[in-house]
Amino acid sequence: MLIKVHPDCRVVVSAPEPIDNDAVLKAVKRRGRLIYQQLRDFCKALEYITPRQYISGESHYYLGRQYLLKVIEPEDTQQQVKLLRGKLEISVRKKDPETVRLLLAEWYKTRAKAVFHRRLDALLEQTLWASGRPPLRTLSMKTQWGSCSPQGRITLNPHLVKAPRQCIDYVILHELCHIAEHNHSERFYRLMNQVMPKWEGTKNKLDAMANLILGDTLPFLPINR
């Protein structure tokens, strides 16, 4: 049985078919204190989030670092995104937030593919059970960083490229372990501990950033707090 508390404060329980509702409720109650703590932390984080406007001056994440967004309207240039001296510079024909959002999303997808493939190649040396290079694709998802199909195809969320490299490695290793053990069994966690000791801390760090990097939101500093 697997109990997950999502950053949007949903509590989701995955249980094998033979387990009835009463057993599920008992399991949730036994873990009530931990669930409450995670819900409290996520609710607190949500207090300091506001919708993005995709205008100059906002901060956006890439590989765990924050970059200042700068939107410009230069003459005679194509629409593009550049990472320059600590800034994400977006050239547009007209400063339209939707155009900026789409250009930035496409830039993230392109960067994500390159980063994910590079990290997968590096991490395969640690997962001796993976015979050959597994297929890898990117797909935007609201509540998942990654997944692994029964056939061994790995899918990663392009938003993950906004997180620190250690967090990216954690997700890739997590999915590589699923090639050997598709369920979250004891064997799965033994493999995780083998390839990434203290992975729980990295997972917690990534979960804490979820609301900032999965959706169109950004943190703001509260007044008088």
Q: How far is CA 120 from CA 24, 123, 165, 180, in A?
A: 36, 5, 12, 16
pTM: 0.76
C-alpha to C-alpha distance for 150 and 35, rounded to whole angstroms? 29
Q: Hey, what are 206's tokens?
A: 């990534």
Backbone angles phi, psi at 119, to 5 degrees: -70, -35
Measure Cα distances from 29 to 26, 49, 109, 184, 188 in Å: 5, 30, 40, 21, 25
Q: How far apart are CA 103 and CA 92, in angstroms?
A: 9
Q: Determine the 3-state secondary structure of 80 from DSSP.
A: strand
User: What pLDDT does residue 224 have?
Assistant: 27
Query: Locate tokens 């230069």: which residue?
Result: 74
66, containing H or E segment: strand 65-72
User: pLDDT digits over 91-115, tens only?
Assistant: 998 888 999 999 999 999 999 999 9
Instruction: Sketch out the chain's domains with CATH numbers.
Output: 1-47 (no CATH), 48-219 (3.30.2010.10)
Cβ atoms within 10 Å, residue 131: 8
Amino acid 12: pLDDT: 84
| Cα–Cα distance list, 37 to 31, 32, 43, 59, 200 (Å) | 10, 9, 10, 29, 16
- Both tokens assigned to 8: 């949007």
Within 8 A by CB and 6+ apart from 95, the residues are: 55, 71, 73
- Look at residue 146 and give its three-state secondary structure: strand
Q: How much is the pLDDT for 216?
A: 60
Helical packing angle, 199-213 and 165-180, nearest 10°: 110
Low-confidence ranges of the chain (pLDDT < 50): 218-225
SS3 217: strand
